Amino acid sequence: MSADVWNPDRYGRFRAERAQPFRDLLSLVRTQERMRVCDLGCGSGELTAEAHSRLEALSTVGIDSSSSMLEKAKRFAALGLSFVLGDIAEFEAPTGGYDLVLSNAALQWLPDHPALLSRITAAVAPGGQLAVQVPAAHGHPSHLLAHAMAAEEPYASAFGGYVRGKPVLDPPEYALLLRRLGYREQHVRLQVYVHELDGPEDVADWVRGTLLTDYERRLPGKLWDGYLAAYRERLAAALPKERPYLYAYPRILLWGMR
């Protein structure tokens, strides 16, 4: 198992900005009585707890692969609300085991979304719902630079040929996929959130808490330190020197009902 490089405090620095897409996603869900909910990639748990409360769910389980995140999440555990360590890539549930499968900013870490959503759909009960939000910021300099540097030496050799792909589909592809998976109703949209940061240097801190964890877990300590320092320097040179810095961040929200 790879090292757990997630840092809840670092991720939580932009808590308010990261919460709004989740709340927009949750607003798409149709509340039903005694819902059984599964949140894939629950992180530090506060948004899972919010969903459990807002939906007045019978039961909600949050699943995450980071033990450090779950250590934070356990303070929200309550009657009907639990958190377990697990890998979304290996997620299996009893057929039709949930009335809602929710995933906020997690599925972008996994490849082959048609196969992934097909497998997740098996856990959605007839009449149940799927609600997913995935970042789609792969065209921003913050992401393009991270990937370009990974292909340069000395980092490329350390990665041993690893190349981070673009698993996130375009919105029309998700719309077609939901229909083919049997969702009789659906909503798919691309929404751009404009986050007002103090300055362009904050973008590196934002990405440090998410995307760059994929590289951190694969690089030895000193090489990672060099990568991060170079990334900060080159990103600062690439971004406008404006204050506040407006970070335009696209996300795809998709919802379907079987």
Condensed to tens digits (0 to 9), the pLDDT of residues 136-171 reads 999 999 999 999 999 999 999 998 878 788 899 999
Q: Give the pLDDT confidence of 171-230 residue by residue, as tens digits.
A: 999 999 999 999 999 999 999 999 999 999 999 999 998 899 999 989 998 999 999 999
- Whether residue 156 is contained in a domain is answered as no
Q: What pLDDT shows up at residue 162?
A: 83
- Whether residue 50 is contained in a domain is answered as yes
- Whether residue 204 is contained in a domain is answered as no
Q: Give the pLDDT confidence of 29-85 residue by residue, as tens digits.
A: 999 999 999 999 999 999 999 999 999 999 999 999 999 999 999 999 999 999 999
- Whether residue 221 is contained in a domain is answered as no
Q: What is the domain extent for residue 72?
A: 8-136+164-198+248-257
CB 251 within 8 A of CB 193: yes
- Whether residue 210 is contained in a domain is answered as no
Burial (0-12, 13-18, 19+ Cβ within 10 Å), 183: buried
- Whether residue 231 is contained in a domain is answered as no
CB 252 within 8 A of CB 190: yes
Radius of gyration of the chain from Cα atoms? Answer: 19
- Whether residue 118 is contained in a domain is answered as yes
- Whether residue 103 is contained in a domain is answered as yes
Give the domain CATH number at 46: 3.40.50.150
Number of domains composing the chain: 1
Q: Give the pLDDT confidence of 227-248 residue by residue, as tens digits.
A: 999 999 999 999 999 999 999 9
3-state secondary structure 186-205: EEEEEEEEEEEECCCHHHHH
Q: Which of 121, 119, 117, 124 is nearest to 96 (CA)?
A: 124
In angstroms, the first-to-last Cα distance of the chain is 35
